[in-house]
């Protein structure tokens, strides 16, 4: 007998529809039930591709005895964090406050009004000696406490909500003026935390540090870093190159099929949790492409190309947008879909090629994964890699016949906007106009299908909530990037992209900006908000909403004639004064925007699209920086104009000379 989740749009919720737990979706009905029955609420949050979410579901939520305890003592609400990131953020902050750590599955125990008083992540069904309370015991303890010491739980919940409110307001109150050179201090502190052996920053588990790497690359482009602090520049180079080399050769990257997994469980990037998230892949495409523009390492370009191929082959939906994720687990068990034995290689490739592949990709009799299986890691030369391209294709074809992990079909506005931005940026850097066109097509679909009655929706279903700050800011920023590709798009389309970016930008200022502060709330002012409206400063798996707002305002201030964007940018900027000093790695994506503002946004003008194509080809030979290429009839034919910030230089007669100046005379390191 199913519970109330069977008809939900979320794959994750439907995966729990046959649990004996009386799950309810997030909404007024669940809260009304809790208040009417005076029961505490259990909010259980996860997502469809989460391995440990599946583990706890199988161990506890499918257990009749445990389900009866949950049903008797709680109103149980199941939430898909990808569909309701606003709910997830509030309870994640609360659980991190309680336990000093968070993750998924996430469990918050709440009063009937939804205020949390306790929480945690994964709990086993029985005692395992790991310091974790067994789930049935925890259920009973909390139920008894709710009945006997309600006043204490009310006090706990009040303190937690007060602290959440304080976290949202503190940075605004501490906002101070700062100098662009202060960003160098942030670089120094980040570089000191690098893992000099394995790349990345810190130990296991290893997550791809895309926002940090983009900040380091932006700072490396500045004259101050490159010329005045050569030792820092060298350390920065080593950090970026080593990290991306280890990611490209290790287990985060799917060596056979392309695309990146979410994170690796070890410090050496060997074995991942095998879920593939759309947002990680978008951010890594962008980061590898930007890094390639400086370091020109062929492996960087190859992983970008193969990841774009994976997106088109395995993630593209009939709508033209992209699916959200691929599950960590497959029917045969986590990771089995991706692993090989030497015998399987010999059967697929023949002895000679199998031996070459096994040597280059570290496939051994002992294996590096469970049951003697090997998850490929690339140890060979680039010549080996090229020679084995046919072998990889053969293995990919064979792998496609295995029982595959489930793909979550949800097409989120935010994540698809990240893909659009990545394709636009990577296409410009690598000279792939078809990627730029594809990025524009994604943005057209989002606009046509998701911008309804003056509201941007967070996804395509009829029950979609209004967009969150991530949706508005990232879509607007991607539109703005598209508006700068006058070398590929027509003048009419460029103007349309910019007009849309400005529309969303004004909507964002009206709907999300705090009335008494510089920051932007995660939810719009008229949206249903769980407990409180939060301000999110810190980057996590994706850039924070306020980080992306910084990029948007820096860009709009440079290209729009509306002064409201410049005023908003100047209002937001001081909030980062204390953050640069305290947690530069936590706000790295915002610091990238402020670095680019200090360097000056480059606008390049020519009299025709053909002239813009000439200069775009020259720019692709140099280190990347944000650029807007636009047709301007006031520029004489055969000449090019460069404006940086508010200053326009004398017209250039050579696109190569302009590109040299636009790249701030920085050359790729061979």
284 with 366, same domain? no
591 with 609, same domain? no
- pLDDT tens-digit series, residues 479-532: 999 999 999 999 999 999 999 999 999 999 999 998 877 899 999 988 877 788
68 with 51, same domain? yes
For residue 238, tell me if it sits in a domain: yes
- Give the domain extent around 197: 182-328+409-599
End-to-end CA distance of the chain: 64
For residue 670, tell me if it sits in a domain: no
Q: Which of 573, 599, 625 is the last residue of a domain?
A: 599
- pLDDT tens-digit series, residues 154-169: 999 999 999 988 877 7
For residue 668, tell me if it sits in a domain: no
Residue 245, number of CB atoms within 10 A of its CB: 16
235 with 348, same domain? no
Assign 3-state DSSP to the chain and report helix, strand, coil percentages, each to 5: 55, 10, 35
Q: Which of 135, 153, 173 is the last residue of a domain?
A: 173
Q: What is the CATH number of the domain that holds 100?
A: 3.40.30.10
441 with 572, same domain? yes
Residue 647 has pLDDT above 60, yes or no: yes
Average pLDDT over residues 345-369: 97
Residue 668 has pLDDT above 50, yes or no: no
Please report the pLDDT score of residue 1 as a whole number. 53
Does this model's pTM top 0.85? yes
257 with 132, same domain? no
Q: What is the mean pLDDT of the chain?
A: 93
- pLDDT tens-digit series, residues 259-294: 999 999 999 999 999 999 999 999 999 999 999 999
Q: How many domains does the chain have?
A: 4
Q: Judge contact between 623 and 221, C-beta under 8 A.
A: yes
Phi, then psi, of 134 in degrees rounded to 5 = -60, 140
For residue 18, tell me if it sits in a domain: yes
Q: What is the CATH number of the domain that holds 193?
A: 1.50.10.10
For residue 4, tell me if it sits in a domain: no
How far apart CA 565 and CA 554 sit, in angstroms, is 8
- pLDDT tens-digit series, residues 60-112: 999 999 999 999 999 999 999 999 999 999 999 999 998 878 889 999 999 99
For residue 286, tell me if it sits in a domain: yes
C-alpha angle 28/470/560, rounded to 5°? 135
Q: Which of 367, 382, 404 is the last residue of a domain?
A: 404
159 with 226, same domain? no
Instruction: Give the CA-trace dihedral at 594, 595, 598, 603, to 10 degrees.
Output: -90
How far apart CA 37 and CA 55 sit, in angstroms, is 30
Phi, then psi, of 368 in degrees rounded to 5 = -120, 10
For residue 3, tell me if it sits in a domain: no
583 with 613, same domain? no
Residue 640 has pLDDT above 60, yes or no: yes
200 with 245, same domain? yes
324 with 461, same domain? yes
234 with 312, same domain? yes
Please report the pLDDT score of residue 531 as a whole number. 82
DSSP 61: I
Name the least confident of 177-181, 322-326, 427-431: 177-181
Please report the pLDDT score of residue 518 as a whole number. 86
591 with 634, same domain? no
Please report the pLDDT score of residue 667 as a whole number. 39
How far apart CA 647 and CA 77 sit, in angstroms, is 56
């Amino acid at each position: 007998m199913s519970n109330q989740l069977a008809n939900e749009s979320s794959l994750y919720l439907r995966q729990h529809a046959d649990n004996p737990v009386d799950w309810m979706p997030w909404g007024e009905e669940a809260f009304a039930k809790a208040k009417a029955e005076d029961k505490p609420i259990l909010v259980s949050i996860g997502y469809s591709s989460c391995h440990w979410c599946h583990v706890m579901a199988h161990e506890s939520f499918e257990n009749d005895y445990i389900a009866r305890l949950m049903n008797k003592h709680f109103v149980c609400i199941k939430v898909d964090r990808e569909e309701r990131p606003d709910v997830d953020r509030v309870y994640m902050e609360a659980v991190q406050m309680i336990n000093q750590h968070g993750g998924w599955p996430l469990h918050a125990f709440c009063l009937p009004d939804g205020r949390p008083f306790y929480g945690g992540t994964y709990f086993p069904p029985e005692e395992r000696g790991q310091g974790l309370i067994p789930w049935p015991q925890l259920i009973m303890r909390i139920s008894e406490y709710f009945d006997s010491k309600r006043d204490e739980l009310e006090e706990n919940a009040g303190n937690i909500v007060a602290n959440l409110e304080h976290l949202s307001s503190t940075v605004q109150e501490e906002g101070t003026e700062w100098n662009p050179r202060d960003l160098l201090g942030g670089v120094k502190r980040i570089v000191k935390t690098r893992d000099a052996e394995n790349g990345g920053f810190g130990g296991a588990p290893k997550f791809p540090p895309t926002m940090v790497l983009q900040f380091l690359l932006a700072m490396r482009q500045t004259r101050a870093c490159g010329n005045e602090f050569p030792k820092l520049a060298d350390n920065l180079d080593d950090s970026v190159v080593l990290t991306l080399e280890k990611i490209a050769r290790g287990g985060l990257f799917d060596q056979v099929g392309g695309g990146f997994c979410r994170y690796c469980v070890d410090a050496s990037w060997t074995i991942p949790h095998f879920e593939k998230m759309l947002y990680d892949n978008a951010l890594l495409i962008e980061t590898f492409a930007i890094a390639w523009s400086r370091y020109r390492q062929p492996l960087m370009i190859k992983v970008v190309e193969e990841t774009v191929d994976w997106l088109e082959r395995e993630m593209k939906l009939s709508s033209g947008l992209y699916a959200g994720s691929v599950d960590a687990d497959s029917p045969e068990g986590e990771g089995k879909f991706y692993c090989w034995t030497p015998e399987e290689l010999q059967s697929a490739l023949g002895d000679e090629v199998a031996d070459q592949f096994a040597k280059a990709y570290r496939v051994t009799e002992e294996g590096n994964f469970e049951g003697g299986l090997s998850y490929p890691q690339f140890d060979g030369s680039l010549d080996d890699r090229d020679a084995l391209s046919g072998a990889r294709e053969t293995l990919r074809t064979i792998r496609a016949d295995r029982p595959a992990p489930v793909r979550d079909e949800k097409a989120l506005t935010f994540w698809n906007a990240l893909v659009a931005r990545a394709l636009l940026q990577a296409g410009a850097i690598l000279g792939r106009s078809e990627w730029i066109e594809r990025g524009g097509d994604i943005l057209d679909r989002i606009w046509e299908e998701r911008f309804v009655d003056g509201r941007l929706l967070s996804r395509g279903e009829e029950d979609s909530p209004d967009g969150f700050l991530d949706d508005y800011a990232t879509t607007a920023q991607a539109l703005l990037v598209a508006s700068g590709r006058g070398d590929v798009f027509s003048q009419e389309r460029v103007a349309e992209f910019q007009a849309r970016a400005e529309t969303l930008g004004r909507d964002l200022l009206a709907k999300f900006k705090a009335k008494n502060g510089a920051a932007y709330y995660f939810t719009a002012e008229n949206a249903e908000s769980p407990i409180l409206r939060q301000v999110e400063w810190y980057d996590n798996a994706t850039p924070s909403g306020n980080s992306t707002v910084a990029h948007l305002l820096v860009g709009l201030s440079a290209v729009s004639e509306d002064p409201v964007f410049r005023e908003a940018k100047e209002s937001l900027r001081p909030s980062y004064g204390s953050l640069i000093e305290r947690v530069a790695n936590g706000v790295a994506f915002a610091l990238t925007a402020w670095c680019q503002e200090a360097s000056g946004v480059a606008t390049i003008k020519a009299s025709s699209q053909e002239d813009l194509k000439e200069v775009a080809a020259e720019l692709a030979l140099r280190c990347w920086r944000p650029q807007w290429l636009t047709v301007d009839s006031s520029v004489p034919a055969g000449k090019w104009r460069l404006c940086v910030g508010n200053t326009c230089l004398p017209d250039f007669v050579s696109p190569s000379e302009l590109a040299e100046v636009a790249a701030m005379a920085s050359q790729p390191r061979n």
